[in-house]
Amino acid sequence: MQKFVALLIIGLIIATGYTFVTYQYFFAGFTNLHNYSKTPAYVLNGSKVFTNGTVVLQIARVDGPDTYGGFIVLLQLIYQNGTTIYQWNAEQLGSIPQSHIHNEYPLHPVKSDKFALVVPLGQNASVMLQVPFKLKPGIYTLRAYDVDGQDSAYGISFSVTVQAQQS
C-alpha cells in the first residue's frame, strides 16, 4: 500500500508537471501569454545575394496555422541606401519552377501556386531567384510580405540583411 501511494504521488507530480511545464513552454501562460498558431511568421536567415543578380531566398515558416498557407506575395531586394532595387510580385512568386526550389523535408513542400509562393508550416526551403541585371557590391536587405500584408509577426521580421557575394 505504501509503495502504491508513493507511485501515485510520482504520477501526480508527472501529470501536473507535464500540464504546467508545457503550458508555460508552449504559451508562456504564467507570464506573457502568446499563441504561435494564430498568424504566419517566416525566417529568412541564410539567404544569399550575389553580384551577378542571383538571389537565394532561404525561407522557413516558423509560426501560424498548421493546415493553411502561408502565402508570400511580395519579395523586395533593398539596397543599403534604402532604395528598392528589385521586387518580385505575386505573379512572379506564383510561377517559380519547382526545380528552383529545394525543400529540406520531402513532405509539404514549398511551391508556387499561381497566386503566391506557398510556404507550409515547418518547411524550410531555398528558392533560386534572379535579378535581371548585375548588382553593385554592398549590403542588401531581403524583405518578404505575407498575403495579409504583414512583414513581421511575434517580433520576428520577415527580412534579412546580407553582404552581396562576388560570383
Partner 1 sequence: MQNHDVDQAQMALPIMRITLGWLYFSAMLRRVWNVPAKMNPSSPLYVGGKLITFIPHSLYIRGILQYTLLHPTLLFDFLVVWTILEGVFGLFMMLGFMSRLSGLVIALLAWGIGLGAGWIGTTCLDEWQIAAVEGAAALVFAFAGSKWLSIDQLLIKKYPKGLKIGRWSIPLW
42 φ, ψ to 5°?
Answer: -130, 145
Q: How far is the CB of 125 from partner 1 (least distance, A)?
A: 12
- Cα dist from 94 to 97, 106, 110, whole Å: 9, 20, 11
Binding of residue 36 to partner 1 (CB under 8 A): yes
Binding of residue 146 to partner 1 (CB under 8 A): no
Selected binder of partner 1 within 49, 93, 119, 121 (CB under 8 A) = 121
Q: How far apart are the first and last CA of the chain?
A: 74
Binding of residue 107 to partner 1 (CB under 8 A): yes
CB atoms near residue 22 (< 10 Å): 11
**Taking CB under 8 A as the rule, which mask of x and - marks residues 56-95 in contact with partner 1?**
-----xxx-xx-----------------------------
Selected binder of partner 1 within 82, 97, 106, 132 (CB under 8 A) = 106
Q: From CA 141, how far away is CA 10, in angstroms rounded?
A: 53
- Cα dist from 63 to 46, 81, 160, whole Å: 18, 31, 17
Sites of contact with partner 1 (CB under 8 A): 4, 7-8, 11, 14-16, 18-19, 22-23, 25-27, 29, 35-38, 61-63, 65-66, 105-108, 120-123
